[in-house]
Amino acid sequence: MIEGSKILLVDDSPEVVELISDFLAPYNCEIYRASTGKQAIEVLSEKHVEIAILDVKLPDIDGIALLDTIRLQDPTVAVVMITGCHDPDLIIEAMKKGASDFLMKPFSIDKLLLGIMKVRKQRELLVEKNSILSDLEDKKKIELLNRQLQTKIAELTKMYHISDKFNSLNIFDDIYEKTILVVNEVLNSEVSGYYIVDHENQQLILYRSRPAHNGHASIEQNISLPAELMEEVKSGKRHFLRNEKAFLSLIIKGEWVGAIMMGGKTNGRVRKHPFSQNDMYFLRLIADKAAMQIENRMLYESLFESVLQTLTSLIIAINRRDMYTEGHCTRVAAMSLALADHLGAAEYEKDVVRVVAPIHDVGKIGIPDIILLKAGNLIDEEYKLMKSHSVYGEEIINRFDILGDEARITRHHHERFDGSGYPDRLAGEEIPYCSRLIALCDTYDAMMTDRPYRKALTREETLAEIKRCRGRQFDPDMADGFVEMMGGGSVGN
Ligand SMILES: [Fe+2]
Cα dihedral sign, 64-67-71-75: negative
State the distance from the centre of ligand 1 to the C-alpha of 438, rounded, in angstroms: 10
Q: Identify the three-state secondary structure at position 234.
A: helix
State the distance from the centre of ligand 1 to the C-alpha of 342, rounded, in angstroms: 23
CA torsion, ordered 240, 241, 247, 251, to nearest 10 deg: 0
State the distance from the centre of ligand 1 to the C-alpha of 274, rounded, in angstroms: 63
CATH code: domain 175-288 is 3.30.450.40
In whole angstroms, give the CA distance from residue 215 to residue 371: 67
Instruction: Say how many C-beta atoms besides its own lie within 10 A of residue 320's C-beta.
Output: 10
State the distance from the centre of ligand 1 to the C-alpha of 411, rounded, in angstroms: 9
Angle made by CA atoms 297, 300, 303, in degrees to the nearest 5 = 150
DSSP bridge pairs for 81? 54, 102
Q: Identify the three-state secondary structure at position 153.
A: helix
User: Dmax of the chain from CA atoms?
Assistant: 143
State the distance from the centre of ligand 1 to the C-alpha of 413, rounded, in angstroms: 7
Task: Read off the pLDDT of residues 360-381 as tens digits, 9 standing for 90 and up.
Answer: 998 988 888 888 878 778 888 9
State the distance from the centre of ligand 1 to the C-alpha of 29, rounded, in angstroms: 108
CA distances from 392 to 5, 357, 406, 434 (A): 99, 16, 13, 18
What's the pLDDT at 167? Answer: 86
Angle made by CA atoms 244, 248, 250, in degrees to the nearest 5 = 155
φ, ψ for residue 195 (rounded to 5)? -110, 145
State the distance from the centre of ligand 1 to the C-alpha of 480, rounded, in angstroms: 22
State the distance from the centre of ligand 1 to the C-alpha of 439, rounded, in angstroms: 8
In whole angstroms, give the CA distance from residue 37 to residue 24: 22
Cα 141 from chain centre: 30
CATH superfamily, region 6-132: Response regulator (3.40.50.2300)
- DSSP structural state of residue 483: H
State the distance from the centre of ligand 1 to the C-alpha of 344, rounded, in angstroms: 25
State the distance from the centre of ligand 1 to the C-alpha of 398, rounded, in angstroms: 17
Q: How many helices (H) and strands (E) does the chain have?
A: 17, 12
Classify 428 in phi/psi space as left (phi over 0), alpha (psi -120 to 50) or beta: left
Q: What is the pLDDT along the chain (493 residues), one digit of tens a residue?
A: 778 889 999 998 888 888 888 888 888 889 999 989 889 989 988 888 999 999 888 888 888 888 888 888 888 899 998 888 777 888 888 888 888 888 888 888 888 888 888 888 888 888 888 888 888 888 888 889 999 888 888 888 888 888 888 888 877 788 999 999 999 888 888 889 999 999 888 899 999 988 754 545 578 888 888 877 777 776 667 788 888 888 998 888 888 889 999 987 665 554 555 678 888 889 989 998 999 888 888 888 888 888 888 888 888 777 777 776 668 888 999 999 999 999 999 988 999 999 999 999 989 888 888 888 787 788 889 999 999 999 999 999 998 878 899 999 999 999 999 999 999 999 999 999 999 999 999 999 999 987 766 788 999 999 999 999 999 999 999 999 999 999 865 444 3
State the distance from the centre of ligand 1 to the C-alpha of 45, rounded, in angstroms: 98
- Please list, in sequence order, all residues whose beta carbon lies within 8 angstroms of the beta carbon of residue 426, skipping any fewer than 6 positions away: 412, 415, 419
State the distance from the centre of ligand 1 to the C-alpha of 31, rounded, in angstroms: 108
State the distance from the centre of ligand 1 to the C-alpha of 435, rounded, in angstroms: 11
Domain boundary assignment for the chain: 6-132, 175-288, 322-485
Residue 373: which of 452, 298, 262 has the closest Cα?
A: 452
CATH C-level class of 322-485: mainly alpha
State the distance from the centre of ligand 1 to the C-alpha of 403, rounded, in angstroms: 18
In whole angstroms, give the CA distance from residue 102 to residue 114: 12
Q: How far apart are the first and last CA of the chain?
A: 114
State the distance from the centre of ligand 1 to the C-alpha of 492, rounded, in angstroms: 26
| Residues making up the chain, counted from first to last | 493
State the distance from the centre of ligand 1 to the C-alpha of 360, rounded, in angstroms: 6
DSSP bridge pairs for 470? 474
State the distance from the centre of ligand 1 to the C-alpha of 390, rounded, in angstroms: 6
Residue 34: CA atoms inside 13 Å, Cβ hemisphere, count? 29
In whole angstroms, give the CA distance from residue 267 to residue 258: 27
In whole angstroms, give the CA distance from residue 111 to residue 171: 92
State the distance from the centre of ligand 1 to the C-alpha of 352, rounded, in angstroms: 17
DSSP bridge pairs for 191? 211, 263
Cα dihedral sign, 336-338-339-344: positive
State the distance from the centre of ligand 1 to the C-alpha of 36, rounded, in angstroms: 112
Q: Identify the three-state secondary structure at position 143.
A: helix
- Please list, in sequence order, all residues whose beta carbon lies within 8 angstroms of the beta carbon of residue 373, skipping any fewer than 6 positions away: 321, 322
State the distance from the centre of ligand 1 to the C-alpha of 363, rounded, in angstroms: 8
